[in-house]
Amino acid sequence: MSNIQFSQGVSNINISGIRKLFEAAGPNAINLGIGQPDFDTPANIKLAAIKAIEDGFTGYTPGLGIPELRNAISDKFKRENGFEVAPGQVIVTSGASEALYITAASLVNPGDEVLIPNPGFLSYKAIVNMLNGKDVSVKMKEDLTIDPNDVLEKITPKTKALFLNSPGNPTGAVSSKEDVKALAEIAEDKNITIISDEVYEYFIYDGEHVSPAQFTDNVVTINAFSKSYSMTGWRVGYLGAKGDYVGQIIKVHQYLQACASSIGQKAALEAITGPQESVVIMKNEFEKRRNVLIKGLHEIGIECVMPQGAFYAFPKVKNCEEATMNLLKNDVVVTPGTAFGANGKDHIRISYASSMANIEKALEVMGRVL
Ligand SMILES: Cc1ncc(COP(=O)(O)O)c(C=O)c1O
């Protein structure tokens, strides 16, 4: 067995360092490292899933997803995001994660370049590398949003796509309409695809969410029920795109996944068409916590750009890995900025998807330790 040659793409990527860190945390640690809402899935959504099981809705569904859900997603894109894709141009996936992978797999040849935000969500680089593509880092501006000028500078004849993530993980930053429009124009001009990861769309406290698909057809828009409806474990996401994209992407989806979970899709249908109060409740609670956290950090003397969205703050902390270990020894778990790319080196990521009491305790520890 010892001389099995694994694929270069997979051999070269690393297991996520974040997990190891969490595993090192003590039983009483306050976990501000987590990337999921600390709310239960709303009851109406759970009931829809129970009903699906009781009704025997347990077989494969069409590869694209159940038509009612694709209709609802197509309506949502039109109503909330200002662009039109037909229900036949929507694929329901196993979370945004699958949507990100199958989109990239349909575009990237070995050696192709893909622009990724640095710091950015870990999966982007890993996906590109698994496909034997080359990840090319794009810098953030002072406000931690992606810099369209740097995007333009990094484009070469080999560039295939750009991952855009607003509101962003790990920064919580929300790109301005102006910048999203500029990026859309660049994509069109240079014939590249924007893979727009909009999973934090519903958690914006200042500013507005702008989908690049409003401005160009060179976009695959990706979203999920995971964060918006506190359904991370259900594994339901989706993508929508005009033109030829879905015709190619569906092939990867069919052979990789066949279809998203039938029960999950029924739950997702209730999430998107049912009452939306739970989203508002979560959003309001996150906003309160954000305000307390940022005020607290500033009082300690830690610099932090006010995050406009998601549930992350990305304050400036030198020697972030050492600082993270020191916090861990004091039972506070955060994530070093380096986990999200080299440009995150002078930052830590704090998730405020944790109770106000935890945030207050963590602030007290940070005041002592940092
Ligand atoms: C920016 C971003 N995109 C995608 C995902 C994955 O979403 P899903 O759980 O729907 O696969 C995450 C999860 O942390 C994320 O932060």
What confidence category does residue 215 fall into, taking pLDDT thresholds of 50, 70 and 90?
A: very high
| pLDDT at site 347 | 97
Residue 112 domain flag: yes
Distance 139 CA to ligand 1 centre (A): 21
Q: What's 80's DSSP letter?
A: I
| pLDDT at site 26 | 82
Q: What are phi and psi of 292, to 5 degrees?
A: -65, -45
Q: CATH number of the domain at 172, please.
A: 3.40.640.10
Do both 161 and 299 map to the same domain? no
Q: CATH number of the domain at 16, please.
A: 3.90.1150.10
Do both 335 and 212 map to the same domain? no
Does residue 19 surpass a pLDDT of 70? no
Do both 36 and 90 map to the same domain? no
> What confidence tens digit (pLDDT) does each residue in 319-334 have?
999 999 999 999 999 9
Concatenated DSSP letters for 255-313? HHHSS--HHHHHHHHHHHHS--HHHHHHHHHHHHHHHHHHHHHHHHT-------BTTEE
Tell me the three state secondary structure of residue 114: strand
Of 238, 273, 308, the one marking the end of a domain is 273
| pLDDT at site 267 | 98
CA dihedral 142, 203, 168, 37 (to 10 degrees): 130
- Ligand 1 atom nearest to 236, measured from its CA: 10
H helix runs in 37-158, sequence order:
43-54, 67-76, 95-107, 122-130, 148-154
Residue 196 domain flag: yes
Mean pLDDT, the chain, as a whole number?
A: 96
With a 6 Å cutoff on the Cβ, whether 264 touches ligand 1 is no
Do both 166 and 206 map to the same domain? yes
Q: Which two tokens mark 68?
A: 């009612």
- C-alpha 95/C-alpha 125 separation (Å) is 18
Residue 110 domain flag: yes
Do both 37 and 77 map to the same domain? no
Residue 2 domain flag: no
Residue from 22, 38, 169 to probe ligand 1 pocket by mutation (most atoms less than 8 Å from CB): 169
What average pLDDT does this structure show over 274-300? Answer: 97
Do both 180 and 161 map to the same domain? yes
What average pLDDT does this structure show over 301-319? Answer: 97
Q: Whose CA is nearest to atom 14 of ligand 1?
A: 35
Do both 265 and 116 map to the same domain? yes
Distance 97 CA to ligand 1 centre (A): 6
Provide the b/e sequence for 299-319 (b: ≥16 CB within 10 Å): eeebebbebbbbbbbbbebee
What confidence category does residue 18 fall into, taking pLDDT thresholds of 50, 70 and 90?
A: low
Number of residues assigned to the chain: 370
Residue 1 domain flag: no
Residue from 91, 199, 202 to probe ligand 1 pocket by mutation (most atoms less than 8 Å from CB): 199
Distance 39 CA to ligand 1 centre (A): 16
Of 273, 295, 313, the one marking the end of a domain is 273
Residue 113 domain flag: yes
Q: Which two tokens mark 230?
A: 């506190």
Contact 93, 190 (CB under 8 A): no
| pLDDT at site 34 | 87
In terms of residue numbers, what domain contains 133? 43-273
Contact 216, 188 (CB under 8 A): yes
With a 6 Å cutoff on the Cβ, whether 94 touches ligand 1 is no
Does residue 282 surpass a pLDDT of 80? yes
Residue 124 domain flag: yes
Contact 134, 111 (CB under 8 A): yes
Contact 217, 195 (CB under 8 A): no
Does residue 63 surpass a pLDDT of 90? yes
Give the contacts of 95 (CB within 8 A, at least 6 positions apart): 224, 226, 232, 235, 236, 237
Of 216, 247, 273, the one marking the end of a domain is 273
Do both 151 and 241 map to the same domain? yes
Residue 3 domain flag: no
pTM, two decimal places: 0.96
Instruction: Give the total number of structural domains in the chain.
Output: 2
Alpha-carbon distances, residue 33 vs 140, 161, 327, 354 (angstroms): 22, 29, 12, 9
Do both 249 and 312 map to the same domain? no
Distance 199 CA to ligand 1 centre (A): 6
* Intra-chain end-to-end CA distance of the chain, in Å: 47
With a 6 Å cutoff on the Cβ, whether 169 touches ligand 1 is yes
Does residue 354 surpass a pLDDT of 90? yes
Provide the pairing of β-strand 90-93 with 237-240: antiparallel
- C-alpha 274/C-alpha 276 separation (Å) is 6
> What confidence tens digit (pLDDT) does each residue in 171-180 have?
999 999 999 9
Do both 121 and 219 map to the same domain? yes
Do both 353 and 218 map to the same domain? no
Do both 334 and 269 map to the same domain? no
With a 6 Å cutoff on the Cβ, whether 37 touches ligand 1 is no
- H or E stretch including 229? none
What average pLDDT does this structure show over 228-249? Answer: 98
